[in-house]
Amino acid sequence: MSKVYDVVIIGGGPAGLAAGLYASRARMSAMIIEKAKWGGQAGTTEELENYPGSIEMPTGPKLMERMKNQAEAFGTELVKDEVLSIDASEKIKKIKLGSGKEISTKTIIIATGAQPMMLGIPGEAELRGKGVSYCATCDADFFAELEVVVVGGGDAAVEEAIYLTKFAEKVTIVHRRDQFRAAKSIAEKAMKNEKIDIMWDTVPEEIYGDGIVEGIKLRNVKTNEVTDFRTDGVFMFVGTKPISDFAKGVVEMDAKGYIKADEEMRTSVEGIYAAGDVRIKSLRQVITAAADGAIAAVNAEKYIEKNFEN
């Protein structure tokens, strides 16, 4: 019979890497499966000053690289593959991978996180990679000495707007409310920045351009007035959606696809846990994701002790 893991963690962001670290330190056999890039969303967030201890090297990619190395150093197996489905009908759970492999495990921690949401306005999909972007670290370089619009008002939008001022000549934040949802310290930093303009109560209606972004149509939600705003790029940070399709019908979720889990990270299925942004929760941050991962790993260990003989 092939190897049965103690825990298989799906997703290599802060939640998954913390879970791997805690599981490996508890001497459990642990594997993390990541389909794209290690570090998740935090791996492409340049300005990351709110993770305790990261102030001297406050970049997401560096912090996530250290987390990955730490989990690996304690023995977590790191695998690049995509999870297609989970079979939880028996005590030993099976995970089907894109490569064709099947993994057997006593417990599963789902830490797949979330990805940026698209607004779905005209021009948005067509001009992707032509000036419409969801990743400031990836694409900021292109906009040196150009002007960009940032859509959104949460932490991600305002932090990335500040980051973009290091490249772009001018950054205009377009936000549908009359104040930011972002943390006050970040909001204040943005409002003091001379390169940043803010348009409150404004939503984008359409992005246009001939093969490349030339402008955006903006509507004031109070007056309904539509204005044409010339710009070279549009960065969208309008929220996220969970990555949980592979677990549909296995664990309980809300209508948006966020997984239901209790304070111990237990989902509706025994031996399956959810940690990080993919779970229903009020604060989606690197620090809360890492905490979730640790809690999930400890509870997975308790579950194995109770339910499996060694």
Partner 1 sequence: MIELDKDNFDSEVLQATGPVLVDFWGEKCEPCKALMPEVHALAEKYGDKMKMCKLNTTQNRRLAIGQKVLGLPTFIVYKNGEKVKEISGAENCTPEAVENLIKENL
Task: Determine if residue 300 is left, alpha or beta; phi over 0 gives left, psi from -120 to 50 gives alpha, anything else beta.
Answer: alpha
Write down the least CB distance from residue 104 to partner 1, Å: 25
CB contact burial 42-73 (16+ within 10 A = b; e otherwise)? bbbbbbbebbeebeeeebbbebbeebbebbbe
Length of the chain: 310
Of 138, 178, 245, 254, the active-site residue reads 138
Write down the least CB distance from residue 64 to partner 1, Å: 9
Write down the least CB distance from residue 57 to partner 1, Å: 15
Nearer to partner 1, 20 or 39 (CB): 39
Write down the least CB distance from residue 125 to partner 1, Å: 9
* 135 tagged catalytic: yes
Of 139, 155, 232, 292, the active-site residue reads 139
* 292 tagged catalytic: no
Nearer to partner 1, 163 or 180 (CB): 163
Rounded Cα distance, 120 and 245, in Å: 20
Nearer to partner 1, 35 or 260 (CB): 35
Nearer to partner 1, 272 or 289 (CB): 289
Of 6, 81, 87, 135, the active-site residue reads 135
DSSP state of 118: P
Rounded Cα distance, 189 and 56, in Å: 18
Q: Return residues touching partner 1 (CB under 8 A).
A: 35-39, 43-44, 46, 61, 82, 98, 115, 128-135, 137-144, 211-213, 232-233
CA distance between the termini of the chain: 16
* 138 tagged catalytic: yes
Residue where the block lists tokens 């690197």: 286
- Tell me the catalytic residues: 135, 138-139
